[in-house]
């Protein structure tokens, strides 16, 4: 559990008591961990791999977040019994998860108040990101949204190389489109434009951005 910050916030004695209750599961790419509106009494910690969190009404899909190693999800339905899942969780690649049931979670939170602060800090960060997304979806045109999202993905999932920052996830054009409320064809067009003006390069479905700061400043 050492790679999971949530567990790092727990008193080691308490952690020893909790670990026996944590179960491990592995999901292949495309596996739905749970659907939006399902009832839920389990939360999940990502040990490796990544998970897409999205809403889907049967035709339109919006990816709210892509969570990675060290992140957790499913805590919202857990905190308030009776609340259903606010979004669908799908393995974006093979993912190893640790699961924790409601009563063990409640026991943990009651035993160590620092966990509540930790959860609150993460929730505030998610709210901050969601607010930024609201601004971008409201005021920016689709081309700028795509470019800014690439710059943000470089911040959040980037690995520095000699030439720039490599977004360390395999991104399909559809995936990127679902993150910014665009259609796939527009993403393809904008990515071609960015390649032609030497702002990005695509290698093995991964995008290298030569100067993410300059891309972020774009209006």
- Which residues make up the interface to ligand CMP (CB under 6 A)? 40, 53, 64-65, 73-77, 85-87, 89, 126, 130
Query: Measured from the CB atom, is 125 or 213 closer to ligand CMP?
Result: 125
Q: Using an 8 Å Cβ cutoff, are 96 and 33 in contact?
A: no
Crossing angle for the helix pair 173-180 and 184-196, nearest 10 degrees?
110
Of the two residues 78 and 146, which places its CB atom closer to ligand CMP in the complex?
78
Q: How far is the CB of 99 from ligand CMP (least distance, A)?
A: 12
Residue keyed to tokens 């601004």: 135
Nearer to ligand CMP, 65 or 215 (CB): 65
At closest approach, how far in Å is the CB of 176 from ligand CMP? 17
DSSP 3-state assignment of 217?
coil
Closest approach of Cβ 61 to ligand CMP, in Å? 14
What's the closest the beta carbon of residue 58 comes to ligand CMP, in angstroms?
18
Backbone angles phi, psi at 56, to 5 degrees: -150, 125
Three-state DSSP class for residue 46: strand
218 Ramachandran zone, left/alpha/beta (phi>0; psi -120 to 50)? beta
Q: Which is nearer to ligand CMP, 81 or 163 (CB)?
A: 81
Quote the tokens at residue 148.
């800014």
Question: Measured from the CB of residue 51, what is the shortest distance to ligand CMP in angstroms?
Answer: 9
Choose between 73 and 165: whose C-beta lies nearer to ligand CMP.
73
Cβ proximity to ligand CMP: between 11 and 76 the closer is 76
Whether 90 and 54 have beta carbons less than 8 Å apart is answered as yes
Question: Least separation, in Å, of the C-beta of 123 and ligand CMP?
Answer: 9
- Measured between its terminal Cα atoms, the distance across the chain in Å is 41
**130: nearest Cα among 95, 159, 161, 87:** 87
């Amino acid at each position: 559990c050492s790679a999971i910050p949530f567990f790092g916030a727990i008193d080691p004695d308490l952690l020893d008591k909790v670990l026996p209750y944590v179960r491990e599961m592995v999901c292949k790419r495309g596996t739905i961990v749970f659907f939006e509106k399902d009832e839920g009494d389990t939360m999940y910690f990502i040990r490796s791999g990544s998970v897409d969190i999205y809403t889907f009404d049967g035709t339109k899909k919006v990816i709210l977040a892509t969570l990675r190693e060290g992140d957790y999800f499913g805590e919202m339905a857990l905190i308030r019994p009776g609340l259903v899942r606010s979004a669908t969780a799908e393995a974006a690649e093979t993912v190893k998860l640790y699961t924790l049931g409601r009563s063990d979670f409640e026991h943990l939170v009651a035993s160590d108040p620092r966990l509540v602060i930790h959860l609150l800090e993460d929730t505030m960060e998610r709210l901050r990101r969601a607010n930024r997304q609201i601004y971008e979806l409201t005021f920016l045109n689709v081309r700028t949204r795509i470019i800014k999202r690439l710059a943000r993905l470089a911040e959040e999932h980037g690995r520095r190389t000699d030439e720039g920052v490599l977004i360390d996830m395999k991104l399909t054009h559809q995936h990127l489109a679902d993150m910014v409320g665009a259609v796939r064809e527009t993403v393809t067009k904008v990515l071609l434009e960015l390649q032609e003006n030497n702002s990005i390069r695509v290698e093995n479905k991964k995008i290298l951005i030569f100067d993410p700061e300059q891309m972020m400043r774009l209006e």
